Chains A and B, each alone.
Chain A
Amino acid sequence: MNHIEGKTRRAFLQESGFWLGSALVVSYGGQLIEKAALAADAATFAPSLFIAIAPDGKVTLVCHRSEMGQGIRTSMAMLLADELEVDLRSITLVQADGDERYGDQNTDGSHSVSMNWTRLREAGAAAREMLVAAAAKKWAVAPESCHAQAGHVYRNASKKSLTYGELVAAAAELKVPAHPKIKADAQLRLIGTGQPSVDLEPMLAGKSVFGIDVVVDEMVYASLERAPTVGGKIKSLDSAAALASPGVLKVVRLKGIRKYTNNAVAVVAGNTWSALQGRRALKVEWENEAVSGSTELRAALEKSLESPGKNFRKDGDFEAQLQGAARVVEARYHAPFLVHATMEPLACVARVLGDDCEIWAPTQDPQGTLKDVAKLLGFKENKIKLHVTMLGGGFGRKSQPDFVLEAVALAKELGRAVKITWTREDEIRHGFYHPESTQRMTATLDKQGKVTGWRHRSAFTTIARLFDAGATEPAGFEMGMGCTNFPYHVPHVLCEGSSAPTDVRVAWLRSVCNIFHAFSVNSFLDELAHETGRDAVQLRLDMLEPYGIPEWDKKSTPPLDTGRLANVLKLAASQSGWGRKLASGTGLGIACHYSFKSYVAVALEVKMKGSKLQVTRADCVIDSGRIVNADSVKAQMEGSMIFGLSAALYGEITLKGGMVEQSNFHDYSLMRMPEAPKIRVQLVKSDAPPTGVGEPGVPSVAPALCAAIFQATGKRIRDLPVARHLS
């Protein structure tokens, strides 16, 4: 739904009059304002779900995507404000609340902008056209002789103008245009520029409200001791000491929902600390059913690579090539489980009173969460109010409803509002992990060293189990993230996938399967270049030619263009000074990857001091089509370099007896400032449709890093994380 065709705003308001009233209102000041004075009363001009203009000229815009640092609130507001012709700094931005009329709100897959580029621009343009038409009517002139600018409509020929506030009553009587005209590129004032975050002021004041910060009336605090393994049951529980701990109010057993949550014991108290102390005093013994560990899993993954697995792509006849090839090169790569480690651990406030439920949560997926909560409570979705707070990082973790379901279940049990705050240990041990994977790459070469055949066997713990608990094979969407959409022209390509079961939950983590597929594909290309004495950039460029859309992707929208991938690679090469002579102990590695419909190339420079590694520079080039906010694209690339380096250098979750062995930042390390390289980001100017930004920067980092280390040391790292090999 875009805007309400052929309806006056009165009719529209009758149907949607509660929309602002029910939203969690985060004002420009960043404070939570419950049901603020912004309710769309009859005097407000609200031509769509996204825009409300009050008679005093106050403009309220709605962001229906979750903000987790990717700058989406600013980008969404820019799309609306540019077309509406209002000052970005004067608007109030409210966060949508999971109402299905906003359409998809699941903030994942890096597609907020591509999905909403036209929709929001048209919503803004429709409102602008109505305001212009209202002014023209007042002046009894043609709308073409008027124009809108910065919250006013001007009459071109004279100096006359009216403010939007003065026009709302008249505009509200007009029909919402069915086909509003969006601005020509030359008229855009915001889109494509770099704008600071609309949430800067409250953020710097410490006033932005994250999920963990929510406080509501009569709220108590809880901490959960969860079964250490999925499916683990309470064998014995002695809560006497916990109940005697100061401030503890109650100890509650919570039954898990296998897909999402473990069985748990909740300690409820008057504040977080008391809840934590009470939890420490619990005496609980668990009966665990899951027993497998990392060693078993890895063996199973490796073993599955010996046989073909499921066929996901077959061009030509690789097997025949294998028989007659002048040369065969093969390598295996391994990448471990990763955890999100969002700086804000999970937290949720819920209140269930009678048949009403209200939730405050840093969720990436309000609508999916609503459905799961409704199912849990047996409520209709419209009896549940879900307020989306700011997210202190998401990276896919906060797409899962587990932390909300726990809070709701506990709130129901208590009959009052409760906040569950996860500790870091909880977050690391009860994750929805990025899958562990092993890849077997085989290439056939002709006498000239040209790659004639490419076989990619990918084995990992499939995320498909999220939708189908019995899934034993990877899903097409997973293989399509860097394996089956292998962009290089090779006549004989074979992509095969297999999975191995694991006892922990696996799901999305920033850039998903692209992480290990980009690692193996790029690392292997680097090895092939080395093996055949060719330059790693030139080898890729040769294989990407002829530039254009490969036959197999012709039907995608937009399709892959190998020329755009070649372009970012060339730009990154030249920006990094590719080919220059390097000092000994120094290495420059490069990789490129197509994901989320965007093209990224990364060159990393490393310096070895003994066994100590310093990443000195990162050159990153992205072509993500049209850009909304250039500064946030840049910031996302900077962040992706650091995120990718943390994963490549240190990221590793291991299991023992079905339990996660890591617990906090001392054993799950993240990159810190002294290790961070200088980062230079280049954005390719493009007229292509806008594509992903939040995720596509990450995949190229690990292979570029390992290629650089190889150049600096002669050591090929095929098994992540890197830190394990340097000491």
Chain B
Amino acid sequence: MIELTINGVARKIDATPDMPLLWALRDVLGYTGTKFGCGMSLCGACTVHLNGTPIRACVTPVSSVQGMKVTTIEGIAANHPVKEAWKKLNVPQCGYCQSGQIMSAVALLAQKHHPTESEIDQAMAGNLCRCGTYPRIKSAILEAAQKGSK
């Protein structure tokens, strides 16, 4: 039994220790907002926060997060500046990659309140979007940075 905190709630997971956090979240606990895209840390669809740091849940064994704090897309408030900016710019197309994009963006802005465009590029390079929403994601991050500072 692995114990951890998810979005502020203490949870127990009954899973084999090698099960990636991604599948534990999705199949065992029902947090399906975190997505599977590659399973090899190549696409960022599975991005969640571990004690505030963005990680790829698809390559993180659930046993390694024992006792830690996990935040998923479901744990980011609807009025978070990042989600507000996403809404304002109508960022998503199919939406599938967007949980991961938002988690990376939230982590970036928590660390750097006013990232430059190239810092955004760097922070977001691990998140693929097949629909091609990159320009809007970048604008939305800049927008959120501006709003967040007010």
Q: Is the CB of A196 within 8 A of B87?
A: yes
Q: How large is the interface on A (under 10, 10 to 19, 20 to 34, 35 or more residues)?
A: 35 or more
A252 in contact (CB, < 8 A) = no
In whole angstroms, how far apart are the Cα atoms of A393 and B45 in the complex? 13
> Residue-by-residue, is B118-135 near A (CB-CB < 8 Å gives 1, otherwise 0)?
101110111111111111
Contact of B94 among A343, A421, A678 (CB under 8 A): A343
Inter-subunit contact A204/B87 (CB<8 Å): yes
**Is A342 in contact with chain B by the CB < 8 A criterion?**
yes
- Give the chain A neighbours of B144 by CB distance below 8 A: none
When the two chains form the complex, which single residue of A201, A246, A666 contacts B40, counting CB atoms closer than 8 Å? A666
Chain A residue contacts of B129, Cβ below 8 A: 343, 642
Whether B16 pairs with A343 at a CB distance below 8 angstroms is no
Residues of A within 8 A of B131 (CB): 69, 343, 393, 639, 642-643
Knowing A341-B130, A666-B42, the reply to whether A205 touches B94 (Cβ < 8 A) is: no
Write the nearest CB–CB distance from B141 to chain A, whole angstroms.
Answer: 10
A197 within 8 A of B: yes
Residue from the list B23, B74, B83, B121 in contact with A673, Cβ < 8 A: B121
Q: Which residue of chain A lies nearest to B95 when distances are taken between CB atoms in the complex?
A: A203
* Contact between chains at B125 and A673 (CB < 8 Å): yes
The answer to the question of B26 belonging to the interface, with a C-beta cut-off of 8 Å to chain A, is yes
State A638–B135 Cα separation when bound (angstroms): 8
Restricting to B98-140, which residues have a CB under 8 Å from any CB of A? 98-99, 102, 118, 120-122, 124-138
Whether B40 pairs with A421 at a CB distance below 8 angstroms is no
**Cβ contact of A272, chosen from B27, B31, B87, B135, cutoff 8 A:** B27
**Alpha-carbon separation in the docked complex, A425 to B43 (Å):** 13
Q: Assess whether A676 is in contact with B134, with CB atoms less than 8 Å apart.
A: yes
Q: Which residue of A lies closest to B128 (CB)?
A: A670
Q: Establish whether residues B16 and A274, one from each chain, have CB atoms under 8 Å apart when the complex forms.
A: yes
Q: How large is the interface on B (under 10, 10 to 19, 20 to 34, 35 or more residues)?
A: 35 or more
Q: Are A638 and B38 in contact (CB under 8 A)?
A: no
CA distance A659 to B125 in the complex (A): 30
Name the interface residues of B27-61: CB closer than 8 Å to any CB of A: 27-28, 30-40, 42-43, 45
Q: Given A204-B78, A208-B95, check contact A271 B45 (CB 8 Å).
A: no
Interface residues of A in 409-440 (CB under 8 A from B): 421, 423-424
Contact A196 B40 (CB under 8 A): no
Report yes or no: A206 in contact with B99, Cβ–Cβ below 8 A.
Answer: yes
Q: Separation in Å of the A550 CB from the closest CB of chain B?
A: 33
Q: How far is the CB of B110 from chain A (nearest CB, A)?
A: 18
Quick check: B92 and A197 within 8 Å, CB to CB?
Answer: yes
* Given known contacts A204-B83, A205-B74, A665-B40, A344 and B35 CB-to-CB distance under 8 angstroms: yes
Find chain B residues with CB under 8 A from A635 CB.
90, 93, 133, 136
Closest to B43 in A: A665
| Neighbour of A643 across the interface among B20, B43, B130, CB < 8 A | B130
Which A-chain residue is minimally distant from B101 (CB atoms)? A673
CB distance from B41 to the nearest CB of A (A): 10
Q: How far is the CA of A296 from the CA of B39 in the complex (A)?
A: 33
Counting chain A CB atoms within 10 Å of each CB, which of B16, B19, B20, B27 scores highest? Answer: B27
Task: Report Cα–Cα, A634/B42, bound state, in Å.
Answer: 28
Closest chain B residue to A342, Cβ basis: B130
The residue on A at minimum CB distance from B16 is A246
A136–B99 CA distance with the chains assembled, in angstroms: 49
From B28, B32, B132, residue with most partner A Cβ within 10 Å: B132
- For B127, give its contact among A200, A206, A673 (CB under 8 Å): A673
Q: Is the CB of A665 within 8 A of B23?
A: no
Contact at A391–B132, with CB atoms within 8 Å?
Answer: no
Give the residues in chain A near B24, CB-CB below 8 Å: 273
Q: Tell me, yes or no, whether A41 is within 8 Å of chain B by CB.
A: no
* A207 and B35 alpha carbons, distance in the complex (Å): 11
| Contacts known (A204-B78, A424-B38, A673-B134); A247 close to B16, Cβ less than 8 A | yes
Report chain B residues within 8 Å CB of A272: 23, 26-27, 36
Q: Are A674 and B90 in contact (CB under 8 A)?
A: no
- Given A665-B42, A673-B124, decide whether A273 and B37 contact each other with a Cβ distance below 8 A: no
Q: What is the minimal beta-carbon distance from B80 to any residue of chain A, in angstroms?
A: 9
Q: Quick check: is A210 within 8 A (CB to CB) of the other chain? A: yes
Contact in complex: B125, A204 (CB < 8 Å): no
Q: Cβ of B121 and Cβ of A674 under 8 Å apart?
A: yes
Instruction: Out of A210, A273, A665, name the residue touching B128 (CB < 8 Å).
Output: A665
Are B135 and A664 in contact, CB atoms less than 8 angstroms apart?
Answer: no
> Which chain A residues border B99 with CB–CB below 8 Å?
206
Complex: how many Å from CA A277 to CA B19?
A: 9
CA–CA, A717 to B6, complex, Å?
51
Residues on the B chain within 8 Å of A215, using CB: 30, 32
Q: Which of A258-315 contact B (CB under 8 A)?
A: 271-274, 277
A residues 648-673 with Cβ under 8 Å of B?
664-666, 670-673
Task: Report how far A673 CA is from B123 CA in the complex, Å.
Answer: 9
A68 at the interface (CB under 8 A from B): yes
CB distance from A206 to the nearest CB of B (A): 2
A679 close to chain B: CB less than 8 A: yes
Bound CA span A66–B23, Å: 27
Q: Which A residues are CB-close (under 8 A) to B19?
A: 271, 273-274
Q: Are A204 and B86 in contact (CB under 8 A)?
A: yes
Known: A204-B102, A206-B73, A678-B135. Is A343-B40 also a contact (CB below 8 A)? no
Minimal beta-carbon separation of A12 from chain B (angstroms): 34
27 contacts between A and B (CB under 8 A): A71-B93, A201-B78, A205-B74, A206-B72, A206-B73, A206-B74, A213-B32, A215-B32, A221-B27, A271-B28, A273-B23, A345-B36, A345-B37, A392-B96, A424-B37, A424-B39, A424-B43, A635-B136, A639-B132, A642-B131, A643-B132, A646-B130, A666-B42, A670-B130, A673-B121, A673-B127, A678-B135
20 further A-B pairs in the complex, CB-CB below 8 A; given A344-B96, A393-B130 = A204-B92, A205-B74, A210-B96, A212-B36, A271-B15, A271-B27, A273-B24, A274-B19, A277-B16, A342-B94, A392-B95, A393-B131, A423-B39, A638-B133, A639-B132, A642-B131, A643-B132, A672-B127, A672-B134, A674-B122
